[in-house]
């Protein structure tokens, strides 16, 4: 049975192509949605760009028929219709009808009273609550949502085998391990079962007869291979746990072998710290240099946000967003404990010099669109605050010889329009899962190394 999906403005502003996501069903746009889109079209932001794109799509559809009667959207029989009726549909008397949200709800109620199976699609939780008051079915736009945070791909897995297999894997002559010899714990059945692997997945291999007998490896798509960089100390940094060993492995790989690295996890697990350490190692300690630039971007200056009216140059405007980066650099440069103010000042001067000499470059994410980055070490930090469209925009900037690193914690999102399932970091992680060009590691709460308090807070909060 054909359904009527009434789209809220925020769905279109989030995903302009959402009009085409409903297959054979009827998509309804109340006329107030067009008016609300018009308010945003002059913005020099992603929201403004999306508003203009939606307007162009609707204008193109207008040329194919009468929007008030319905215009075909796809080969499945779906259509789009503008709705300007149901003005007299009764609503709660205390609801202000000049509000766009209430007018959209009035259209939904009028369609239902006319016999249509109507569903409101909105990303606004309060709008869905108000729909419930009127007994209107309401849903979030799920087309670009991924699995819940507990079910998202982590890039790592615990598997089991016998001690003899582990010994053979550790042997001098062994360069790989047959994945068919490994098992995984089936939580539902409570038993070991054949393990399923994803290309580039890291493995913690445990013995079934000795809890302390373990090995680390990586599934390359065909077999389990050894980690090549676990004994390295890039820029003097030593991995302190299994997660950091996996993290170091994929960061140390060349841009040809591992052009994309996605690292998720709670605060204090050294995501940014390690990415900077390996980047500086490649830029300052390795000859010949594989990378010519080290670039850092954060979506606090998002593709859909300008730099505001802060005085100064682009670098000066970005200064507040680089403080966490400078904190990590200070720790990297200080080495052993500092004993006096002079030593502290010297390290601070060194950190500032890295930015002044453009050894490390910081730029607004807004200015990455249209670029082609060649031989860059690029860190996109706090990417949980980006949208899927922004994540796609930055990933498609990577040119030959560039290593792109996405960092963030899907559980700590500041963008009010995103959640753990709809943010750009999680979206990129799930969509790139299994790609030979993408390596992923999710750090766990018990791998926090910032401080005992940070570790405790990451677990308890």
- The Cβ-side half-sphere exposure at 71, using a 13 Å CA radius, reads 20
Give the helix/strand (H/E) hosting 81.
strand 79-83
CA distance 247 to 245: 5
Radius of gyration of the chain from Cα atoms?
A: 26
For the domain bounded by 4-139, which CATH number is listed?
A: 3.40.50.1010
Give the helix/strand (H/E) hosting 432.
helix 424-432
DSSP string, 183-208: EEEETTTTEEEE----TTEEEEEEES
What is the total residue count of the chain?
461
CA distance 407 to 331: 19
Give the helix/strand (H/E) hosting 268.
none
CA distance 89 to 110: 6
CA distances from 20 to 15, 60, 144, 413 (A): 10, 14, 13, 28
Same fold, 4-139 and 230-460: yes
CA distance 445 to 455: 7
State the DSSP code for 338: P
For the domain bounded by 230-460, which CATH number is listed?
A: 3.40.50.300
**pLDDT tens for the chain, residues 1 to 461:** 679 999 999 999 988 999 999 989 999 999 999 999 999 998 877 888 899 999 999 999 999 999 999 999 988 889 999 999 999 999 999 999 999 999 999 999 999 999 999 999 999 999 999 999 999 999 999 887 888 888 999 999 999 999 999 999 988 677 889 999 999 998 888 889 999 999 999 999 999 999 889 999 999 999 999 999 999 999 999 999 999 999 999 999 999 999 999 999 998 899 999 999 999 999 999 999 999 999 998 876 444 455 555 566 666 667 777 888 888 998 888 865 666 788 888 888 989 899 888 889 988 776 677 788 999 999 999 999 888 888 998 999 899 999 999 999 999 888 877 889 989 999 999 999 999 999 999 999 999 888 888 878 877 87
CA distances from 247 to 29, 255, 257, 271, 444 (A): 47, 15, 15, 8, 12
Q: How far apart are the first and last CA of the chain?
A: 46
The answer for residues whose C-beta is within 8 angstroms of residue 252's C-beta and 6 or more apart is 228, 229, 232, 234, 278
The closest alpha carbon to 145, from 417, 436, 404, belongs to: 417
CA distance 88 to 294: 61
Q: Around Cβ 456, how many Cβ atoms within 10 Å?
A: 12
Q: Around Cβ 460, how many Cβ atoms within 10 Å?
A: 7
Structure tokens at 327: 């904190």
Q: What are the residue ranges spanned by the domains of the chain?
A: 4-139, 147-226, 230-460
CA distance 310 to 12: 30
Beta carbons of 82 and 68 less than 8 angstroms apart:
yes
Structure tokens at 179: 């994945």
């Amino acid at each position: 049975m054909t359904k009527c999906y009434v789209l809220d403005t925020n769905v279109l502003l989030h995903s302009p192509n959402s009009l085409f996501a409903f297959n054979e069903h009827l998509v309804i746009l109340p006329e107030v949605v067009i008016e609300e889109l018009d308010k945003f079209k002059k913005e020099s932001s992603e929201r403004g760009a999306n508003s203009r794109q939606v307007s162009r799509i609707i204008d193109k559809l207008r040329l194919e028929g009468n929007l008030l009667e319905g215009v075909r959207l796809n080969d499945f029989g779906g259509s789009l219709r503008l709705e300007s009726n149901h003005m007299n549909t009764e609503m709660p008397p205390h609801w202000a009808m000049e509000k766009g949200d209430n007018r959209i709800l009035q259209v939904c109620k009028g369609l239902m009273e006319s016999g249509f199976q109507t569903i409101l699609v909105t990303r606004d939780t309060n709008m869905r609550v108000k729909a419930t008051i009127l007994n209107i079915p309401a849903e979030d736009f799920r087309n670009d949502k991924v699995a819940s945070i507990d079910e998202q791909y982590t890039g790592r897995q615990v598997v089991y085998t016998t001690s003899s297999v582990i010994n053979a894997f550790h042997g001098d002559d062994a360069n790989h391990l047959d994945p068919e010899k490994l098992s995984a714990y089936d939580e539902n059945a409570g038993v070991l079962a054949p393990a399923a692997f994803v290309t580039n997945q890291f493995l913690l291999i445990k013995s079934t007869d000795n809890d302390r007998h373990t090995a680390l490896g990586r599934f390359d798509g065909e077999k389990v291979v050894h980690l090549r960089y676990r004994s390295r100390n890039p820029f003097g940094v030593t991995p302190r746990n299994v997660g950091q060993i996996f993290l170091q492995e994929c960061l140390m790989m060349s841009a040809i072998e591992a052009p994309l690295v996605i690292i998720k996890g709670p605060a204090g697990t050294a995501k940014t710290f390690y990415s900077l350490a390996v980047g500086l190692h490649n830029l300052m300690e390795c000859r010949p240099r594989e990378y010519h630039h080290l670039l850092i971007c954060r979506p606090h200056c998002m593709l859909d946000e300008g730099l505001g009216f802060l005085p100064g140059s682009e670098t000066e405007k970005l200064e507040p967003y680089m403080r966490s980066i400078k904190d990590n650099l200070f720790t990297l440069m200080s080495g052993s404990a500092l004993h006096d103010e002079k030593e502290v000042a010297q390290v601070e001067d060194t950190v500032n010099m890295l930015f002044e000499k453009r050894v490390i470059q910081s730029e607004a994410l807004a200015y990455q669109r249209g670029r082609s980055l060649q031989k860059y070490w690029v860190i996109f930090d706090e990417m949980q605050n980006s949208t899927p469209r922004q994540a796609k925009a930055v990933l498609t900037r990577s040119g030959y010889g560039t290593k792109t690193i996405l960092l963030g914690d899907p559980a700590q999102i500041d963008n009010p329009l995103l959640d753990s399932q709809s943010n750009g970091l999680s979206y990129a992680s799930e969509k790139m899962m299994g790609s030979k060009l993408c390596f992923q590691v999710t750090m766990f709460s018990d791998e926090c190394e910032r401080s005992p308090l940070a570790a405790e807070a990451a677990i308890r909060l």
